[in-house]
Chains A and B, each alone.
Chain A
Amino acid sequence: MTGDGGAGGSLLGSTAVLHRRRAGVPAGQPVGRRPARRSRLARVRRAAVPYGFIAPALLLLALFGLLPIVVAAGVSLTDLDIGGLGHPDTIRVIGLDNYRRLFEDAAFWRSIQTTGLFVGLGVPVIITVSLAVAVGLNASRSRFFRALRAFYFLPAITAIVAIALIWGYLYNSQFGLFNQLLGAVGLEPVAWLSQPGTARVAVALVAVWRATGLNIIIFLAALQSIPPEYHEAAALDGAGRWTTFWRVTFPLLRFALFFVTVTTLIGWLQFFDEPYVLTRGGPVGATTSVSLFIFKNGFSLNQFGYASAGSMVLFVIIASVTVLQLRLARGTDD
C-alpha cells in the first residue's frame, strides 16, 4: 500500500512542479499567497466571496436536489393518489403506514432481491470488461484503435428505445436472430426474455453492453495519463507484463477505479431503463427492480404516497452504500 501512496504522491508532486514552472514561480515558494495586511472588513469580505460564487450552484442543488427529496419524504407520509391530486383536501396524513405496508409487501422484497442480484452480476462484470477493453485499446494509438474506441462508445450514445427495439428482436423467441443462430449450429432455442432466470441475465447483458463504453473511456484516460517512465523503470527492474500491470498500472488506476465503481454501483442500484423497455419487469416480475417497482406503483397505479415511501427507502440504501464506499476508500488512502 505504501508503494501506491508514494507513486500517487509523486504523480501529484510532479504536476505541481509543472504548474509552478508555467506560472514562473520559483520552486519551494508556496503558490498564491501574497504577504499583505488587510483590514477586518476586507477579510470578512474575502471570506464571503467564495460563498457568493457557490451560491447559484447551491441554490440549484437545493431546488432540484434537496427539495424533491424533502417533498417525497413528506408525500411518503400521506395517502396521496390521483384523487388527492385533484382534490387536495382529501389527502390524509397516515404516518408510517406506507412504510409498514412496504415492508410487508412480498413484491417489494422481491424487487430488492432482484436489484441485489443485478448489482452483484452487473457491477463486477462492467468493471472487469471495461478495464480489460481499455487496457487492450491502450496497446496502440493507431487509427484502427481510435476507430475501435468510437465503436465501443457507440452504445453509450444510442437512444435506449432503439436499443430495446433491436435487442428485443434479437432475443425474440419466435423470430429472434439469436435463436436462429443457435438453431443453425444445432442448439436448442433459448427463451431469452420469457424465462425468469434467463430474462435476468439477458436484461443485465444489455445493460452491461450499454454501460461499458463510457467506463472504457474513463479507464483509457486514466491509463494514458500514466507516465511511460514508470513502465520503463519496471521493465528495467525485470518485471514482466503481468507484474507490471498488477504492481504499477493497476494501483495507479485507483482513482478511476473508485470513480467507476461508485457511479456503476449507484447506476445499478437504480437499475430501470433496460427492464422497463425490454420486459416491463416480467416475466412474472423476475426483472422488476426497486426503481421499476416504484415506477409501477407511482405511475401506473397512481399511488404516489406508497411510491414515495419506496423511493425514500431506495434513497437511504444508495446513500448508505455510497457513504460506506467513501469511508472504505478513505481507509485505503491513509
Chain B
Amino acid sequence: MRRTTSTLRLGVAAAATALVLAACGNSGSTPGAADATDAGSSEAPTLSVWVMGDSGANLEAAVKPFTEKTGIAVDVEAIPWDSVNDRLTTAVASGKGPDVTQIGLSQLASFMDGGALEDISGKIADYPNLASANFPSAVSAENLNPDGGVYSVPWVSDTRVLFYRSDILAQAGFAAPPATWDELRTTAKALAGRGEGQFGYYIPQWDAPLPVTYTWQTGTDVMKDGKIDLDTDGFRAAVDHYLAFYQDGSVPTASDFDQTTGFISGAAPMLVSGPYLANAIKEQAPDLDGKWSVSPVPTDSKGTSLFAGSNLGVWAGSKNVDASLQLINFLAGPATQVAWYKANGELPAVTAAFDDPALADDPLVAVYAKQLQDSKPLPISTAWDAANAAILETLNAIALTGADKAQSLDALNQTIEEINAR
C-alpha cells in the first residue's frame, strides 16, 4: 500500500512539475522587463541580429567596420523569408528575440502588434542618420507608426516598375513602352496575338499588392478612417483593369507560370515587378542585355506604385538598446547604404544614397528612384493580411473559374466588413 501511494505521489509530483514548466513557458510571453534594459551598456556587448533571406554573409561583411570602430560584436542570424512568421511567433511567445531585427514592410504590422519592437522615439534624436527627413515621405515615421511612437526605421527600399522587352515591342510596332492603362491593354493584346503560348503581359496570381496599386492609380485609397474600404468606384475600376487582361487572353492562366523564364523567353514580354527581377535577368540571360528595359508603371489618373522594402528595429526588452541603435545608425549611413547596394543589390532607403555614382549612373536605378517618389507601402495593419488573401482569392476566382463578378465582389465586401469588425 505504501509503495502504491508513493508511486501515486511521484506521478502527481511529475504532473505538477509539467504544469509548472508549462506555466513558466507562458509567463515568459510578456516580453521585456523594462529594468533589464541597457544593463550592458558599460562594456561592449555582442548584438544578435536577424536578417531575412540569404543576405547573412553579406551583412557579416558589412558590419565589420562597425565592430572595428565600436568594439561591439555582431552575431548575424539569417532567417529564410518563409519562416519569418514562425520565428516571430515563437520569439514573441517565449519572449526571447534578437537585439536587432530586419522587418519586411509587409510584416511590420505583425511585429508591432505582437509587441516585438521597442519604442525608440525617445532616443532617436541622438542618432542623426535615423531622422525621418532622410527617408522618402512614404516611409516617414508618421506613416510607419500609425499609432504613434517610433518602432522601426527604413533600411532598404524596393518598388515595382514595368519591365518590357524593347525588341519584341519594336517588332510589333511599339516604339515606346505603354504609359497609360489603355496603352498597356492594347499593347498587351497586340503582343498576345503573336501566336500560341505567347502573351502580352503577366499577372502573378500570388501578387497581392497588384490590385491595390491599380486602385491607387485611380486616385482612390483602400483605407478610409482606419478601416479597409473596397466598396469604391476606384477599386471596381481596378478590378475591371485586372480582369481585362484575362478577358483579352493577354495573360497566362497557369498558376505555375515562371515570370523570369517567361520574360527571358519572350512569352511574357511585359510585366510589373521589382529590382530583383532585373538581377535575375542579368544573371540568367546576360545576352539579353539591350533588349529589355524598365519604365514607370502605366498610369490611370495617377502613377502610384508599391513601396516595399525592409526596416530595422530594436527588439522589445533588448538589453542593448543603445548599442543596437548605434548599429542601426551605422547601417543607415549613406556610405553603408551604397556599399550594401553594391554587395547585396538592395536599393537604399536613404534618399541621399541615390546621388552616389554607383546608383546615379545606372539607367535602371534612375527609373526605380523616380518610381520610389510615387510609391506607397501597403496599409500597416494586421487586418490587411486577411484582406489581401480575400482580394486575391476573389479576383482569381472571377478570372480563372468564371465566378460571377457582381456576386463575388459583394461577397468580398462582406468579408472585408467582417475583417474590419474583428
Write the residues of chain A forming the contact surface with B, with a CB cutoff of 8 angstroms: 41, 44-45, 48, 51-52, 55, 59, 62-63, 67, 79, 81-83, 85-88, 107, 168, 171-175, 191, 193-194, 196, 279-280, 282-285, 296, 299-303
- B18: nearest chain-A partner, CB-CB: A63
Interfacial chain A residues near B265, Cβ < 8 Å? 174
In the complex, what residues of A have CB within 8 A of residue B257's CB? 173-174, 194
Query: Is B110 touching A302 in the complex (CB atoms < 8 A)?
Result: yes
Contact (Cβ within 8 A) A82 B18: no
24 A-B residue pairs with Cβ-Cβ distance under 8 Å, sorted by A, are: A44-B1, A45-B4, A48-B7, A67-B18, A67-B22, A82-B113, A82-B382, A83-B382, A85-B89, A85-B92, A86-B31, A86-B113, A87-B115, A88-B26, A168-B256, A174-B262, A174-B267, A175-B258, A194-B253, A283-B255, A283-B396, A284-B393, A284-B397, A301-B386
19 extra A-B contacts, CB within 8 A, seeds A55-B10, A172-B258:
A44-B4, A55-B7, A59-B15, A62-B18, A67-B22, A81-B113, A82-B114, A85-B89, A86-B92, A86-B113, A173-B254, A173-B256, A174-B254, A174-B267, A194-B254, A283-B396, A299-B89, A302-B89, A302-B110
Inter-subunit contact A81/B205 (CB<8 Å): no
Measured between beta carbons, the chain B residues less than 8 angstroms from A171 are 256
Q: Given A67-B22, A86-B31: A48 and B256 within 8 A (CB)?
A: no
Among A44, A175, A282, point to the contact of B255 (Cβ < 8 A). A282
Nearest CB on B from A269, distance (A): 24
Docked CA distance A297–B389 (Å)? 11
Cβ 8 A contact of A196, one of B10, B22, B258, B401: B401
Residues of B within 8 A of A175 (CB): 258, 261
Most chain B C-beta atoms within 10 Å of own C-beta, residue among A55, A79, A168: A55
A83 touches B253 (CB 8 A): no
Determine the main DSSP class of A at the interface with B: helix
Instruction: Determine if A82 and B92 form an interchain contact, defined as CB atoms under 8 angstroms apart.
Output: yes
Cβ contacts under 8 Å, B385 to chain A? 300-302
B345 contacts partner chain A, Cβ-Cβ < 8 Å: no
Residue of B22, B31, B256 with highest tally of chain A CB at under 10 A: B256
**Is the C-beta of B14 less than 8 angstroms from some C-beta in chain A?**
yes
Q: Does B224 contact A (CB under 8 A)?
A: no
Known: A83-B114, A282-B205. A59 touches B18 (CB 8 A): yes
Decide yes or no: A284 and B1 within 8 Å by CB, A194-B255, A302-B89 being known contacts.
no
With contact pairs A174-B262, A299-B89 given, residues A283 and B114 touching in the complex (Cβ less than 8 Å): no
Neighbouring A residues of B3 by C-beta, 8 Å: 44-45, 48
Measured CB to CB, the closest approach of chain B to A278, in angstroms, equals 9
- Tell whether A174 pairs with B258 under 8 Å between CB atoms, given A67-B22, A82-B382: yes
Nearest to B383 among chain A residues (CB) is: A301
Residues of A contacting B93 in the complex (Cβ-Cβ under 8 angstroms):
85
Complex contact B382–A85 (CB within 8 A): no
**Is B116 positioned at the interface, with any CB of A under 8 Å from its CB?**
yes
B30 interface contact, C-beta 8 A: yes
Across-interface contacts of B261 in A (CB, < 8 A): 174-175
A81 engages B382 (CB within 8 Å): yes
Nearest opposing residue in chain A for B115, CB measure = A86
Tell me, yes or no, whether B287 is within 8 Å of chain A by CB. Answer: no
Q: Please give the distance in Å from B5's CB to the nearest CB on chain A.
A: 10
With a cutoff of 8 Å between Cβ atoms, the chain A residues found around residue B289 in the complex are: none
Are A302 and B254 in contact, with the CB atoms below 8 A?
no
Chain B, interface residues (CB within 8 Å), range: 35 or more
Minimal beta-carbon separation of B257 from chain A (angstroms):
6
State whether the Cβ of B232 lies closer than 8 Å to any Cβ in chain A: no
> Whole-angstrom distance from the CB of B233 to the nearest CB of chain A?
26
Q: Is B71 an interface residue (CB 8 A)?
A: no
CA separation between A279 and B256, bound complex, in Å?
A: 8
Q: Which of B78-113 contact A (CB under 8 A)?
A: 85-86, 88-89, 92-93, 110, 113
Give the interface of B toward A (CB within 8 A): 1, 3-4, 7, 10-11, 14-15, 18, 22, 26, 29-31, 85-86, 88-89, 92-93, 110, 113-116, 205-206, 253-258, 261-262, 265, 267, 382, 385-386, 389, 393, 396-397, 400-401, 422
Pairwise interchain contact A59-B11, C-beta atoms closer than 8 A:
yes
How far, in angstroms, from A59 to B255 measured CA to CA in the complex?
A: 47
Given contacts A300-B85, A301-B386, contact A88 B11 (CB under 8 A): no
How far does the alpha carbon of A186 sit from the alpha carbon of B113 in the complex, in Å? 56
Tell me the complex Cα distance, A282–B261, Å. 21
**Would you call B382 and A302 a contact (CB within 8 A)?**
yes
- Partner among A51, A82, A83, A172 whose Cβ is within 8 Å of the Cβ of B256: A172
CA of A205 to CA of B13, assembled, Å? 49
The answer to whether A299 touches B85, judged by C-beta atoms less than 8 angstroms apart, is: yes
In the assembled complex, the Cα of A193 lies from the Cα of B31 at a distance in Å of 43
**Which residues of the partner chain B approach A173 to less than 8 Å between Cβ atoms?**
254, 256-257
Q: Most chain-A Cβ atoms within 10 A of its Cβ — which of B4, B255, B382?
A: B255
Q: Which residues from B are CB-within-8-Å of A55?
A: 7, 10-11
Q: How far is the CA of A172 from the CA of B86 in the complex (A)?
A: 29
* CB-based contact A51/B382 at 8 Å: no
**What chain A residues lie within 8 Å of B116 (beta carbons)?**
86
Q: Do residues B89 and A279 form an inter-chain contact, with CB atoms below 8 A? A: no
Top 5 A-B pairs ranked by shortest CB distance? A86-B115, A194-B254, A86-B114, A194-B255, A283-B255
A194 to B205 alpha-carbon distance, docked (Å)? 11
B15 touches A62 (CB 8 A): yes
CA of A52 to CA of B3, assembled, Å: 10
The reply to whether B255 and A82 form a contact with Cβ atoms under 8 Å apart is no
